Amino acid sequence: MERKIINLLSFHQSPLDQFIIREFFSIEGDLLSNVKISLTSIGLYLIITTFIIFIICLLATNYNISTPNN
Amino acid sequence: MYSIVVNQINMFKGQMFFPLIFALFVYILVNNLVGMIPYSFATTSHLILTFSISFALVIGATILGFQLHTFKFFSLFVPSGCPLALLPLLVLIEFISYLSRPISLGLRLAANILSGHMLLNILSGFTYNIMSKGIFYLFIGLIPLAFIIAFSGLEIGIAFIQAQVFVVLSSSYIKDSLELH
């Protein structure tokens, strides 16, 4: 039982495992000339990064007064 | 802070590149820092991202150089004050070094982030194996754990330094095509 839990926890077999690009979900459009659109882990994190940058820019420029200022 | 770098590398004419350079810096820095969060994903460790940024930058700088001074742009390949006999060899060397610019720029960023993350992963797997052996080894395992924390502090420093290095090199490439040597 304990061994099984340890095996479950140590799923990082190789140090390169963290760089695998996994697909979360994908759309295969056979009608649209065999395109395949998928959301992968790198795509998700790039979207998160872009969102963070957008929020930082919005709060830093403070054009429509979203951050209290004196 | 960043207008200082841009001012040092470009002339007054280079002020128009400040938004590009600043956006590049913020993008790479936030990508590096998001990759530093545990159980998240390091996007800048992938060559596809860094190569797409660096190739776009260098090709854009080349187009800019051709647009500003059309065929005089090839004088970039001739170092100033070289003897005429050595000219074909030097032009070949300069051309190869110009071609290797985007590769080195993208590879530097990706290799730094990748090696740092792999180092942290190997160390943490090692520490996990030590600490899961018993209650006595749990306290021994605190020593490599301290190393891991120190290395992750170093990795945050590397995230800043690599973003700055990328920005400095890309602005120096833009400067090369703005004014030929």
Q: Do A52 and B118 touch (CB under 8 A)?
A: no
- Complex confidence, ipTM: 0.76
Distances (CA, A) of B11 to B1, B23, B60, B177: 16, 19, 19, 13
Answer yes or no: are the C-beta atoms of B90 and B83 closer than 8 Å: no
Q: Do B128 and A48 touch (CB under 8 A)?
A: no
Answer yes or no: are the C-beta atoms of B44 and B28 closer than 8 Å: yes
pLDDT digits (tens, 9 = 90+) for B73-100: 777 777 777 777 777 888 888 889 888 9
Q: Is residue A55 part of a domain?
A: yes
CA triple B107-B108-B110, angle to 5 deg:
65
Q: Do A19 and B121 touch (CB under 8 A)?
A: no
Count Cα atoms within 13 angstroms, Cβ side, for A40.
11
Q: How many Å lie between the alpha carbon of B62 and the closest alpha carbon of chain A?
A: 27
Exposure string for A8-43, b = 16+ CB within 10 A, e = fewer: eeeeeeebeebbeeeeeeeeeeeeeeeeeeeebbbe
- Predicted TM-score (pTM) of the model is 0.81
- Chain B residues with CB under 8 Å of A18 CB are 41-42, 117, 121
Q: Do A42 and B41 touch (CB under 8 A)?
A: yes
pLDDT score for A1: 47
Interchain contact B22–A (C-beta under 8 A): no
Place of tokens 């929020």: A55
Q: Do B117 and A45 touch (CB under 8 A)?
A: no
Q: Is residue A59 part of a domain?
A: yes
Beta-carbon contacts below 8 Å between A and B: 49
Q: Is residue A29 part of a domain?
A: yes
First-to-last alpha carbon distance for chain A, in angstroms, is 59
Interchain contact B95–A (C-beta under 8 A): no
Q: Is residue A49 part of a domain?
A: yes
pLDDT digits (tens, 9 = 90+) for B4-14: 566 656 666 66
Round to whole Å and give the CA distance between B102 and B166: 11
For residue B35, what are its two tokens? Answer: 């990759």
Q: Do B46 and A19 touch (CB under 8 A)?
A: yes
pLDDT digits (tens, 9 = 90+) for A4-53: 555 545 555 677 777 788 888 888 877 767 788 888 888 899 999 999 99
Answer yes or no: are the C-beta atoms of B14 and B175 closer than 8 Å: yes
pLDDT digits (tens, 9 = 90+) for B127-160: 888 888 888 888 888 888 898 899 999 999 999 9
Domain count, chain A: 1
pLDDT score for A7: 52
Residue B78 φ/ψ, nearest 5 degrees: -105, 115
Name the residue range of residue A60's domain.
22-65
Q: Is residue A70 part of a domain?
A: no
Helix, strand, coil percent values for chain A (each to nearest 5)? 50, 20, 35
In the predicted model, is pLDDT for residue B56 greater than 60? yes
